[in-house]
Amino acid sequence: IWAALINPVTLSFQLPFLVLWGVPDKDCLGRPDPAAFGMEWEGRVAIFYEDTLGLYPYFTAQDRPVNGGLPQHTSLDLHLQRVEGDLTASLPQAGAPGLGVLRWQEWTPQWNRNREIKTKYLVESRALLRRFFPDWSTEEVEKWSQVDFEAAAQSIMMETLQEVKRFRPQRLWGMAPFPNCYNFDSTQIALANYTGRCPAAEMALNDELMWLWKRSGALYPALSLEKLPEGTKGTWLYATNQIREALRVAALAGTTFDLPVFPLIKIVYITSNSFLSEIDLVNTVGESAAMGASGVIIWEKSLAVKTQKSCSEFGSYVRQVLGPYAVNVTTAARLCGVSLCQGRGRCVRKKPEDPTYLHLPSAHFMLLPHGAEGVRATGELPTAYIDLWKKDFRCKWFEALEGAAADQESAGGCRNFCEPLLALTLIANCK
């Protein structure tokens, strides 16, 4: 039997599951402190966009070129000088740990993935080459436009990652929204025959991005949802396959251990101003925890909270829906990590396709008021519930502890492992 009391934690990447705050809401007066619900913030997550780091080239929605528009026009020296200045201004503390996300999505570094609105980069690349070689055939222009574009795009991304890691080495840097399954189709996701599976062609293209994965400290796939009718499985199928593909890529990166995966979860539905329902928090946050992600980033580029009414609505959502669920899933993940993995790893679904989750049993746990309008979980975890976790989940050991943890697995005995782990404030009593 386990009794647990969870308080906010200091950032550590050897905790079973983290919920991190990436919403620019500091101007929203009256909203609760995310830390009161165990969500990390205050500089833990640094997210940079196309207009906030360096001289990233792109076209606006009105087709106006910024910084040359195309990667082929970029001066790497000038770009990296600006990156250095932007990092110094945005992250003045060089040694502060955290996550570093470059959310550059105006174009992708792979020619054939620049579809729909992104085809302008292909059109402009072809036009650029035709100006230099007007006598070339269509085939020659197509071939060398792709070569030039991909080489320039890859160079920008690689050199930028190298620079940010050199300047702020304590952060886990990576690009978002990568990897991607491109399995979201608003016309198909609500249909009964939608599978959400990652197409083999997209998985092969993700494999070709090994140069990116090997230079990344973490992977940051993105989960953006449409509000679907209750009872449809489309959201879960979309999210679980995106997460599964990110975990697959994380294992292929060529390093000794898998890269940590932190999905960016857009907290507002794509085509509405409403916040994610609790069901869709389960489909995203809960799914990420159960599948073995290191955590999630609750994310929004800009939040429409300019009025006191909208701020009040947002605050109510955090207090009543998001915050309590974050406490629930992070507490359950930590308890499972202690009870199954002796505090040395995280619990991961044995069968990825099974909708089993790391949730506290409602009959045995309560969420009580705590701190600045936050809540904490308190209760006892029955032995029968631990047995259910053992049936549905396996341990994935933390990197530095993998060998030692494996040696201790059979020894069991929670007596040696019920102490607080790293910065985790966890009171767990062995009986």
Mean pLDDT value of segment 353-361: 95
With cut-offs at 50, 70 and 90, classify the pLDDT of residue 32: confident
With cut-offs at 50, 70 and 90, classify the pLDDT of residue 94: confident
Mean pLDDT value of segment 83-98: 93
- On the question of pLDDT at 414 being above 90, the answer is no
User: What's residue 126's pLDDT?
Assistant: 98
User: What's residue 73's pLDDT?
Assistant: 98
User: What's residue 423's pLDDT?
Assistant: 31
User: What's residue 231's pLDDT?
Assistant: 78
**37-41, 150-154, 248-252, 352-356, range with the lowest pLDDT:** 37-41
Mean pLDDT of the chain: 87
Rounded percentage of the chain residues whose pLDDT exceeds 70:
87
Mean pLDDT value of segment 220-242: 93
Mean pLDDT value of segment 349-363: 95
What pLDDT, in 10s, does the model give residues 123-164?
Answer: 999 999 999 999 999 999 999 999 999 999 999 999 999 999
- On the question of pLDDT at 409 being above 80, the answer is no
Q: Which residues contact 185 (CB under 8 A, 6 or more apart)?
A: 194
User: What's residue 142's pLDDT?
Assistant: 98
What pLDDT, in 10s, does the model give residues 276-313?
Answer: 999 999 999 999 999 999 999 999 988 765 567 778 88
Angle between helical axes of 234-252 and 200-207 (0-180°, round to 10): 30
- On the question of pLDDT at 431 being above 60, the answer is no
User: What's residue 406's pLDDT?
Assistant: 42
User: What's residue 400's pLDDT?
Assistant: 53
